[in-house]
Structure 1
């Protein structure tokens, strides 16, 4: 969905066509869920957070300004919501429980979920701060520009570019020993089993 379509939808919704909000949700639900999942580290919490993000966006739609891309505005809401959730709870390291019925998934969906939500990726992501995870996800997975990310995170685009390089290197270092089945991987699995 392009910028013009989003702006038209927003105008229609503000004018009272509430049913049009479903199109916005359909367009952004999956990327916002993936973002929340990797920040929060728990599928159920990410599902709840995704719903809450869309509720907050809907409630504050009149405050949206087309000077900022709609996606950046939505990610900014998601970023702040996830930060609030993390502040409210004691952070524990635990594996996400995938409660979805596997029989209803296609082979492609199962493969994507196994890679995207793999334990090794989860454990490597947990070595990063929330800000680093946000940056890695927005740039590396969602392919946002540094300018868009700077709007979401209220940071300078040039400093984000440097931080992304350091964060990507940190993630590769954390992920690499895990993927090779090293002692860090065994230790992480043991910790995860204890929860």
Structure 2
């Protein structure tokens, strides 16, 4: 348990005993990171703002359910993940994911190929074919740069199974992205066939 979690172990009982002003310190500490995660999940600034606010409202309401043995950040990200997934499911069609796919000729892990650089039409369409849980896994690993132990704490899953799930998800993403681009999963382009004249 790091110094930050030890500090929170002192703050949370105070908050539960009525010192709600201390909760603002928690918000200040995590607000930027939670907003960043929500923004990458949702791809919409105002939605991410609303979702971030909802995350902290739920965190405050559920604070008495928090297990002090669990890393607080993992618990907070889990709440954020659930909030984002709820929004995505309500949309039915999710279109905006501000991540960039960069071709990798050596087919290295996709966490070297996704960055939060700008909107990319091909990426948006490829990401939309993944489940919300798969998107969350990619974003936590590739954009938030969290290791599998941290992701396991957030998603409440075994880290080794998450690693395998990530590899499968990465392969799916590469396949979808390559298909949309008209290329191969390694980023190369499919050879274009010459147009043929058809006589009707």
Is 1:38–1:122's contact at 8 Å kept on the other side of the alignment? no
Structure 2: 5+ residue stretches without partners? 98-114, 184-200
Displacement after TM superposition at 1:175 (Å): 5.4
Is 1:7–1:66's contact at 8 Å kept on the other side of the alignment? yes
User: 123-132 or 4-13: which moved more?
Assistant: 123-132
Matches within 5 A, 1:100-179: 115-120=116-121, 121-172=123-174
Give the TM-score normalised by structure 2: 0.68
Query: What's the CA shift string for 1:3-51, capped at 9, x where partnerless?
Result: 1122222222222221111221122112212222232332222211110
1:31 aligns with 2:56: no
RMSD of Structure 2 on Structure 1 (CA): 2.9
Structure number with higher helix proportion? 1
RCO greater where, 1 or 2, for CA within 8 Å and sep 6 or more?
1
CA distance in 1, matches of 2:141, 2:63: 25
CA distance in 2, matches of 1:95, 1:78: 17
Q: Provide closer, same or farther for how the CA distance between residues 35 and 21 of structure 1 changes in structure 2, counting only shifts above 3 A.
A: same
CA distance in 1, matches of 2:91, 2:43: 13
Q: Aligned pairs, how many? A: 164
Query: What's the CA shift string for 1:42-79, capped at 9, x where partnerless?
Result: 22222111100100001111111111100110111112
Q: Provide closer, same or farther for how the CA distance between residues 123 and 29 of structure 1 changes in structure 2, counting only shifts above 3 A.
A: farther
Give the TM-score normalised by structure 1: 0.70
